[in-house]
A and B are shown apart, each in its own frame.
Chain A
Amino acid sequence: MNAKYLSRRLINAILLLVGISFFSFALLQLAPGDFFDEMRMNPRISAATVEGLRGQYGLDRPLLVRYERWLGSIFRGDLGFSLAYNSPVGPLLQARARNTLFLTATATAIAWALAIPIGIWGAANRGKWSGRISGLATSTLLTVPDLLLFLCLLLLAVRTGWFPTGGMVSPGLENADLWHRGKDLAIHLFLPSFGLALVTLPTLVRHIRSAMIEALNSPFVRAARGHGIPRRRLLFRYALPVATNPLTSLFGFSVATMLSASLLVEVILSWPGLGPLLLEATLTKDIFVVVGIVMLSAVFLIAGNLLADVLLFASDPRIRVE
Chain B
Amino acid sequence: MKPRYKLRAAFILLAAVHAAVVFAGFLAPYGFANQDRELPFAPPTRLHFFDAHGRFHARPFVYRSQPDPSQPNAYVNDTTQEYPVHFFVLGAAYRIAGILPAREHLFGVDEPGRILLFGSDAFGRDQFSRFLYGGQLSLLAGLLAAAISVTLGMFIGGLAGFYGGWIDEALMRGGDLFLALPWLYLLFAVRAALPLHVSQRQIFVLLVAVMGLIGWARPARLIRGVALSAKERNFVLAARGFGASNAYILRRHVLPQAYSVALTQITLLIPQYILAEVTLTFLGLGVGEPMPSWGSLLSSLQQYYVLASYWWMFLPALFLMPLFLAYYAAADALQERLKSVPL
Contacts and interface: CB of A to CB of B under 8 A. Distances in A.
Contacts of B283: 267, 279
B102 interface: no
A229 B304 CA distance: 57
Contacts of B307: 151, 154-155, 158
B182 A148 contact: no
Interface string A20-32: 1001100110111
Given A268-B302, A281-B192, A260 B185 contact: yes
Interface string B301-321: 110100110000010011011
B188 A290 contact: yes
Contacts of A287: 192
Given A293-B185, A294-B185, A282 B177 contact: no
Contacts of B321: 143-145, 148
A145 B317 contact: yes
Contacts of A17: 180
A34 B249 CA distance: 48
B196 A33 contact: yes
B183 A260 contact: yes
A142 interface: yes
Contacts of A16: 176-177, 180
Contact of A158 (B189, B275, B279, B308): B308
Chain B interface size, under 10 / 10 to 19 / 20 to 34 / 35 or more: 35 or more
Q: Which of B193, B321, B325 has the most CB of A within 10 A?
A: B193
Contacts of B322: 143
B298 A285 contact: no
Given A143-B321, A144-B321, A151-B298, A27 B177 contact: no
Contacts of A260: 182-185
Q: Which of B184, B196, B301, B317 has the most CB of A within 10 A?
A: B184
B189 A290 contact: yes
A159 B180 CA distance: 39
A292 to B, nearest CB: 11
Interface residues of A, number: 52
B195 interface: yes
Chain B interface, >50% SS class: helix
B256 interface: no
B109 interface: no
B166 to A, nearest CB: 16
A298 interface: yes
B180 A147 contact: no
Contacts of A297: 181-182, 185
Interface in B318-332: 318, 320-322, 324-325, 328
Interface string B266-308: 0000000001001100111100000000000010011010011
A199 to B, nearest CB: 11
Contacts of B191: 282
Given A27-B190, A27-B193, A151-B298, A282 B285 contact: yes
B282 A294 contact: no
A93 interface: no
29 contacts: A17-B180, A19-B177, A23-B177, A28-B189, A32-B195, A145-B278, A146-B279, A147-B298, A147-B317, A148-B318, A151-B298, A151-B301, A151-B307, A159-B308, A259-B185, A260-B182, A260-B184, A263-B182, A263-B185, A264-B279, A279-B188, A282-B188, A290-B189, A294-B185, A297-B181, A298-B185, A301-B180, A301-B181, A301-B182
Given A20-B177, A145-B324, A283-B285, 8 more contacts: A23-B177, A27-B190, A31-B195, A144-B321, A145-B317, A279-B283, A282-B188, A300-B182
